[in-house]
Amino acid sequence: MAIYGSVRRFWRSFSTFSSDPLRVCIVGSGPAGFYTAEKVLKAQEGAQVDIVDRLPTPFGLVRSGVAPDHPETKIVVNQFTRVAQNGRCSFLGNVNLGSAVSLPELRELYHVVVLAYGAESDRTLGIPGEDFYGIHSAREFVWWYNGHPDYRNFNPDLTNTHTAVILGQGNVALDVARILLRPTNELATTDIAEHALAALRSSSIRKVYLIGRRGPAQAACTAKELREILGIKDLQIHIQESDLLKSPADEEELKNSRIQRRVYDLLSKAASAKDLHSKLDHRELHFTFFHKPDRFLESDDRSEHVSGVHLEKTRLIGDESGRQVAVGTEEFEDVKCEMVLKSIGYKSIPAKGLPFDHQRGIIPNIRGRVVSETSGDSALPEQGLYVCGWLKRGPTGIIGTNLYCAEETVSSISEDLQKGLLQPTTRKSGRDGLLQLLDDRNVRVVSFREWEKIDSEERRLGSLRNKPREKLASWDELQRACWG
């Protein structure tokens, strides 16, 4: 017996690899989380990866951010599904970092914790009147029409609105404008949430302004989205020719950037195309450049409700880094509207107990390794804690950008593993420990199988309405679908 025990211990010391796999926990199941999981599974044989998300549905912004009329962008979900179905990987939905389990507890249970929970908040303008009714962030509006369960009861007032103002000219702004202006029969065959489709059908919005601080040469949108919105049926595009004048600095910028060049060409073509016929129920899209919001105007009839935006004209000057910045010129004008959507950027939510760079909206890190701020010059990396995705780089980039981001983070993990910084020989309870902990706290976990139940239910409901899927947009419906 003693010999057996000693042989076992002897064997164990050489086979720590098989008995103690590297346990990795990824918080966030969007593109960053899944790409990180895929690369960890490939780089570390035998690693056990758990992807944790606070929603019962995985895939993050691919599900709740990509516009319903862009189904091809969502095809990447197939690749993520294959990762989740890998035997060494599991998805744990309905687990909230902070309320269900804390970060120190996760770091206790896993060798490696990767934070990839993205950006669930917004940048603020910080101008008077920002808290009026009728002013929302574009993120909330996008979550609402994409059936995010947190925004089921968002209910934007589209029936008493004739004009909507969108602050910002990035792709999210264009998405929101397109959903507001697109004929609803075209939206009826997409996976847009049903409550949003009903609201849009009864919408009286006929005019949408896209307001940007700088000019067409600095517009943050990309050619594909711009082309799409300029091609919407029965939509009148208004662009002022005077805005299209290029300064020498603009020429320089355009020369160096292919994206900006193509966007500028599209805008100048749209400005020169004269739309002669105007139908009775036509819709208008106005591109307003060189204006920034100064304050919001309150309505006389409805208190605390927005009735317009007080805009200040801007001009561009170069700053120290050579970038052109917009500064006010003290010339003002007003735009009347009943709804304002701020599309000026997302912002991450800080994690409790970790430093946070509020200016850039990221957790301070070096190539994905979270660093804790020390008083000295050198920043100490936190052991076993990493970031990936928007939380690491800031809320910019497309789905594919996370590929390279994940590669960098995973190579940092592999390097640290090789240097022995991750205590791979210490036994960590990993998935079993986490499930036990959650069970003790009465938190019911949604497994990937249960998500597949939700998925097939959504597709079944969608097939009844000629849609690819009918999203279950409330917590109750989701719980009923996966737990019966």
Partner 1 sequence: MDKILVFLPKCYPNAPLIGYYQVNIRHIQEYKKPNRFLPSGRRPRPLRGLPAFLAGISSGIRNSLRIPRVLPKAINSSAVLSSYRLFWVSTIMFIPRLSRVAFRLAQELSSGKCPQAIRGYVQRPSSQFMQCQVEQRMENKLFHASIMQKICLYSNDASGDVVDPKQKISVTFVDKDGKEKHIKVPIGMSMLEAAHENDIELEGACEGSLACSTCHVIVMDMEYYNKLEDPADEENDMLDLAFGLSETSRLGCQVIAKPELEGIRLAIPAATRNFAVDGFVPKPH
The annotated binding site for FAD is made up of 32, 61, 97, 390, 397-399
Considering only residues 12 through 51, tell me which ones interact with partner 1, judged by CB under 8 A. Answer: none
By CB under 8 A, which span of 220-228, 243-251, 277-285, 455-463 interacts with partner 1?
A: 220-228
By CB under 8 A, which span of 18-26, 71-79, 243-251, 415-423 interacts with partner 1?
A: 71-79
Indicate whether 366 belongs to the interface with partner 1 (CB under 8 A): no
Indicate whether 258 belongs to the interface with partner 1 (CB under 8 A): yes
Complex with partner 1: residue 21 or 212, whichever CB lies closer? 212
By CB under 8 A, which span of 128-136, 168-176, 309-317, 417-425 interacts with partner 1?
A: 168-176
Complex with partner 1: residue 225 or 416, whichever CB lies closer? 225
**Residues in binding contact with partner 1, number by CB under 8 A:** 33
Angstrom distance (rounded) from CA 103 to CA 25: 11
By CB under 8 A, which span of 43-51, 250-258, 306-314, 467-475 interacts with partner 1?
A: 250-258
Can you read off the two tokens belonging to residue 362? 């990221």
Indicate whether 397 belongs to the interface with partner 1 (CB under 8 A): yes
Given 170, 212, 215, 308, the residue binding partner 1 (CB under 8 A): 170
Count of residues in the chain: 484
For the annotated binding site, the residues are 32, 61, 97, 169-172, 213-214, 225, 390, 397-399
By CB under 8 A, which span of 190-198, 267-275, 391-399, 466-474 interacts with partner 1?
A: 391-399
* β 339-342/48-52 pair status: unpaired
Indicate whether 76 belongs to the interface with partner 1 (CB under 8 A): yes
Given 12, 224, 282, 360, the residue binding partner 1 (CB under 8 A): 224
Indicate whether 172 belongs to the interface with partner 1 (CB under 8 A): yes
Complex with partner 1: residue 78 or 185, whichever CB lies closer? 78
Indicate whether 421 belongs to the interface with partner 1 (CB under 8 A): no
Indicate whether 269 belongs to the interface with partner 1 (CB under 8 A): no
- Cβ at position 329, least distance to partner 1 in Å: 26
Given 69, 120, 408, 452, the residue binding partner 1 (CB under 8 A): 408
- Cβ at position 422, least distance to partner 1 in Å: 23
Complex with partner 1: residue 189 or 411, whichever CB lies closer? 411
Long-range contacts of the stretch 451-455 (C-beta < 8 A, 24+)? 451/56, 451/57, 451/58, 451/91, 451/93, 451/482, 453/481, 453/482, 454/56, 454/57, 454/478, 454/481, 454/482
Q: Given the rule CB under 8 A, which residues bind partner 1?
A: 70, 72-73, 75-76, 78-79, 170-172, 220-224, 227, 256-260, 262, 395-401, 403-404, 407-408
